[in-house]
Amino acid sequence: MRSNRLKVSGAAATYHCMTRTVNGERLFDDRAKEVLRKVLWQVADFCGVEVLTYCIMSNHFHVLVRVPVLDELSDAELMRRYKVLYPKPTKYQEASNKVLERDLAAGGAEAEAVRQRLLVRMGDVSEFMKTVKQRFCVWFNKSHRRYGTLWADRFKSVLVEGEGNPLQTMAAYIDLNPVRAGIVEDPKDYRFCGYAEAVTGTKLALRGLRHVWADHLSGGGSEAALQSHRALIFGKGSGAREHGCVIDRKTAAKVLEEQDGVLPRATVLRCRVRYFTDGVILGSSEYVRGFIGAVQRDRKRKRPPKVNPLRGAAWGDVAVLQGIRRQVFS
């Protein structure tokens, strides 16, 4: 039985979303990854959400996205966003740009209906992910002369506290995907992740990283955000070789799972950690505790869920709502 997706209404919220291809097939070459990267930014602009970081792999992608409260939008802004999504005529759009502009200018009930059809697709994490997956699937199937579904079932999502250590830890975990996969030693060398884009000076990627590290900047701007992120990724130093994973992932997982040990945070982040994909909510203990009643009601639990502190490293005050009993680390 599917559980309802946990979403926040009436306030800004941050989510870690992850989705895989059918059967986990490794379908995406560099060209496909580049197209998906562009689709992520394009749909984020249309939906009015902020991509804080992301990582695109050969059979899945992660995105850390902030969904602000949807403000009242002018008709001009609605059309600007619509043209971002449909710069050229396509059979997939509900109407041409000219028709929509005409209907909005006419006013009345028809104009309001157009506004509502557009607004319902904005300011919502599910609509964002749905549009990303659909648009990329159309391109991929057409380019590879295939048909049918590309993505496996629903995407996973974890509600993340939108500031401080929990947000920063989640962002680092996402950017370290290509390191965990053994593709690179330093995520700055993998161009399909937010950190690498930020290092090259891409404005939107830098904006996302500045938001992640807002509590550490003190007027330092983008350079301070990059340095802080790198320090978290590699420990106290800033070099991949000097401060990377000092033991292999298999040994690290054995220490964590079998011996219930504690390792440096930079080392544990190089393991697959289910807290970050299956934890339901990730944040400070106080933040997570604030959702206990809502989750209990929404999922019709007899007993309230527990706040579970992360184990295995000196995470600080970071907890999840979903207790993970088996194979937390791999």
Regarding pTM above 0.95, the answer is no
In-domain check, residue 21: no
In-domain check, residue 143: no
In-domain check, residue 89: yes
Q: Which domain holds residue 87?
A: 75-119
Q: Could you say which of 85, 119, 153 is where a domain stops? A: 119
In-domain check, residue 275: yes
Q: Could you say which of 119, 147, 182 is where a domain stops? A: 119
In-domain check, residue 62: no
Q: How many CB atoms lie within 10 A of CB 17?
A: 21
Q: Could you say which of 59, 86, 119 is where a domain stops? A: 119
In-domain check, residue 227: no
Q: Residue 318 and residue 283: Cα distance in Å, rounded?
A: 5
Ordered per-residue pLDDT tens for the chain, 330 residues: 466 788 888 899 999 999 999 999 999 999 999 999 999 999 999 999 999 999 999 999 999 999 999 888 999 999 999 999 998 878 778 788 888 999 999 989 989 999 999 999 999 999 999 999 999 999 999 999 999 999 998 899 999 999 999 999 999 999 999 999 999 999 999 999 999 999 999 999 999 999 999 988 776 789 999 999 999 999 865 555 444 455 666 787 778 777 677 888 998 999 888 899 988 999 999 999 999 988 888 878 788 888 999 988 999 999 998 766 667 777
In-domain check, residue 268: yes
Count of domains forming the chain: 2
In-domain check, residue 323: yes
